[in-house]
Amino acid sequence: MALSQQVSDSLDEAKANLRNALAWAARTEDTYISKHIADILLSIDTIKDTHKYVSDLRDIMGERDDK
């Protein structure tokens, strides 16, 4: 089961906003602020990637159960 389109779109929108915040933070804030914004961006990517791999794994395991 894939992420719903609404969730995927919302995560993509959040990433776009965070990239904008990161660009401003890199110019004006202490470095730890930029680091934490980058960590959040990585977490969003991890959510999407992990969900994809788990979904693929479930599909593979389901195919093996059918045989």
How many Å is the maximal CA-CA distance in the chain?
59
Give the model's confidence band at 65: pLDDT under 50 very low, under 70 low, under 90 confident, else very high: low
Provide the CB-side half-sphere exposure for 46 (13 A, CA): 6
Residue 61 pLDDT more than 90?
A: no
At 48 the pLDDT is 87
**pTM recorded for the entire structure:** 0.75
Question: What count of other Cβ atoms lies within 10 Å of the Cβ of residue 22?
Answer: 19
Domain ranges of the chain: 5-66
- DSSP line for 17-50: HHHHHHHHHHHHS-HHHHHHHHHHHHHHHHHHHH
